[in-house]
């Protein structure tokens, strides 16, 4: 496509910026997939800036494919002390659907240090489509113009095999929304194909310890497809975003109890990111007390609260005329922060994870939202000390049945034979109205 010409590199002779963890051990090109040229790279390097100041750079140096972009190379410098004493190794984060609304909120949070920390330099790798390429350039330009000191690289591309190379995190947002008259099974198939391809690309080129957060709907089953297509990456590393539902549940409980939402803890969303999801008020707490002690209106908890959370996405679409974007981006940031910072004592967070080996008796081999804790190392453990009652368990089983049905629809994408699609009638995304 020759799209790299969209940037006018002035420092092509400069030393490249330091790369992420696995950079020194790049895997060779994939036999089953042709490689494309990296479309455009925006980099900023302390060393590069220093070389400019020292006059090391010369006009005769051969052009490099990975270029330092214009003023971005020289707008800031770090004192050598800062670099050696307090800056961490670059974290490399790929974002798909990078030209979309959710990403437009998220990328600036990531670049600011709000998510990974104020001492964590970051590389952002933006994945888009041919159609969105110009918009991707616009996003990259806005990132440049923001002069974030922690943002060390920005690259844009349309080939996941290029964009995912050596990444530490994959935030998979891009997916087709369900249009009017479109069957849910068709959506599962279309989006499933995207996540099967991206799973293969992650398997081929990403860091072996990459953490993958699937946001594109139907996110639980898309995450399952993705992990099945990436057998060399631990299944435990794949997540489906249900943090938005947790945040919505916390807000509703706070409203009903007449407290600010920081008083609400231990909220689990069980199951699918759909209208069968189960916001758990049995184990949740307000000001450290069981919710049922604070909110005595059990009918409200069982009916109104549960439905409000399940259908919040749809109500938002009616108001906005499009699906939630800013709050989704906030919840993605929350989901990542929950994995890179230790979970507060006694609390937990919800995320959709692989069920095999779960202690609750939920069917194995699906992606189901459950309560988790983290030491802050990117990994997590399932919480074991949760209570169950008939109401909770019945609803968990309904969400489980839905996910098992979705799984059958995508058997052709998970390597499990022929698809057979017979979805329950009320199967809907939170945003479907």
Active-site residue set: 273
**Which positions from 324 to 353 touch ligand LMR by CB under 6 A, shown as an x/- string?**
x-----------------------------
Binding range to ligand LMR, per CB under 6 A, among 58-66, 88-96, 143-151, 316-324: 316-324
CB 372: neighbour CB atoms within 10 A?
A: 21
How many amino acids of this chain bind ligand LMR (CB under 6 A)? 9
Q: Are 318 and 95 in contact (CB under 8 A)?
A: no
Q: Please report how close the Cβ of residue 313 comes to ligand LMR at its closest, in angstroms.
A: 3
Distance CA 19, CA 222 (A): 29
174 binds ligand LMR (CB under 6 A): no
For position 431 contacting ligand LMR by CB under 6 A, the verdict is: yes
Q: Given strand 264-265, what is the order of strands in its sheet?
A: 264-265, 285-286, 289-290
Measured from the CB atom, is 217 or 414 closer to ligand LMR? 217
Residue with Cβ nearer ligand LMR (210 or 219): 219
Taking CB under 6 A as the rule, does residue 204 contact ligand LMR? no
- Our CB check for ligand LMR shows the closer of 331 and 355 to be 331
Q: Which stretch binds ligand LMR (CB under 6 A): 193-201, 283-291, 356-364, 423-431?
A: 423-431
Instruction: Compute φ and ψ for 241, nearest 5 degrees.
Output: -75, 110
For residue 152, what are its two tokens? 């060390």
Q: Is 218 in the site for ligand LMR (CB under 6 A)?
A: no
> Which residue sits closest to ligand LMR, CB atoms considered?
431
> Quick one: tokens of 331?
């919840």
278 binds ligand LMR (CB under 6 A): no
CB of 96 to ligand LMR, least distance (A): 15
Question: Minimum CB separation from ligand LMR for residue 432, in Å?
Answer: 6
Q: Which position has the token pair 């435990």? A: 236
Nearer to ligand LMR, 273 or 285 (CB): 273
Task: Quote the least distance from Cβ 116 to ligand LMR, whole Å.
Answer: 24
Q: Which of 74, 268, 323, 374 binds ligand LMR (CB under 6 A)?
A: 323
Q: Which is nearer to ligand LMR, 265 or 277 (CB)?
A: 277
Using CB under 6 A as the binding rule, whether residue 429 contacts ligand LMR is answered as: yes
* Candidates 76-84, 129-137, 344-352, 424-432; binding stretch for ligand LMR (CB under 6 A): 424-432
Site for ligand LMR contains 430 (CB under 6 A): yes
Q: How far is the CB of 342 from ligand LMR (least distance, A)?
A: 28
Q: Which is nearer to ligand LMR, 91 or 249 (CB)?
A: 249
Q: Which of 11, 100, 313, 371 binds ligand LMR (CB under 6 A)?
A: 313
217 scored as a contact of ligand LMR (CB under 6 A):
yes
Q: Among 73, 244, 249, 264, which residue interacts with ligand LMR (rule: CB under 6 A)?
A: 244
Q: Quote the least distance from Cβ 23 to ligand LMR, whole Å.
A: 34
Question: Angle at the Cα of 196 (from 96 to 100), degrees rounded to 5?
Answer: 20
Binding site for ligand LMR (CB under 6 A): 217, 244, 313, 316, 323-324, 429-431
């Amino acid at each position: 496509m020759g799209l790299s010409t969209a940037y006018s590199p002035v420092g092509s002779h400069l030393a490249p910026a330091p790369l992420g963890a696995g950079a020194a051990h790049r895997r060779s090109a994939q036999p089953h997939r042709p490689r494309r040229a990296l479309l455009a790279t925006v980099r900023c390097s302390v060393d590069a800036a220093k070389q400019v100041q020292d006059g090391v750079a010369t006009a005769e140096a051969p052009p490099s494919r990975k270029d330092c972009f214009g003023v971005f190379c020289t707008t800031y410098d770090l004192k050598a002390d800062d670099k050696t004493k307090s800056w961490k190794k670059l974290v490399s984060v790929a974002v798909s659907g990078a030209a979309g609304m959710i990403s437009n909120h998220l990328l600036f949070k990531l670049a600011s240090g709000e998510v990974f920390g104020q001492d964590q330099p970051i590389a952002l790798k933006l994945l888009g489509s041919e159609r969105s390429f110009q918009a991707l350039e616009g996003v990259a330009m806005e990132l440049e113009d923001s002069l974030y000191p922690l943002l060390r690289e920005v690259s844009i591309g349309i080939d996941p095999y290029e964009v995912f190379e050596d990444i530490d995190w994959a935030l998979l947002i891009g997916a087709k929304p369900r249009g009017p008259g479109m069957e849910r099974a068709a959506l599962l198939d279309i989006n499933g194909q995207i996540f099967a391809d991206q799973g293969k690309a992650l398997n081929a080129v990403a860091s072996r310890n990459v953490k993958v957060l699937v946001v594109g709907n139907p996110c639980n089953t898309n995450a399952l497809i993705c992990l099945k297509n990436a057998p060399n990456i631990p299944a435990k590393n794949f997540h489906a975003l249900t943090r938005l539902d947790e945040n919505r549940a916390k807000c509703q409980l706070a409203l009903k109890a007449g407290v600010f939402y920081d008083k609400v803890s231990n909220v689990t969303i069980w199951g699918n990111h759909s209208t069968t999801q189960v916001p758990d008020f049995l184990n949740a707490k307000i000001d450290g007390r069981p919710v049922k002690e604070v909110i005595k209106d059990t009918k409200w908890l069982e009916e109104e609260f549960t439905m409000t959370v399940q259908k919040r996405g749809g109500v938002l679409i009616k108001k906005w005329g499009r699906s939630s974007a800013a709050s989704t981006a906030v919840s993605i940031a929350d989901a990542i922060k929950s994995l890179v910072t230790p979970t507060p004592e006694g609390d937990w967070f919800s995320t959709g994870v692989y069920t095999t080996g779960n202690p609750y008796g939920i069917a194995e081999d699906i992606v189901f939202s459950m309560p988790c804790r983290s030491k802050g190392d990117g990994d997590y453990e399932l919480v074991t000390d949760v209570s169950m009652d008939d109401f909770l368990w019945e609803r968990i089983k309904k969400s489980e049945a839905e996910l098992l049905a979705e799984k059958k629809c995508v058997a052709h994408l998970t390597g499990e034979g022929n698809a057979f699609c017979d979805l329950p009638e009320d199967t809907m995304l939170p945003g479907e109205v």
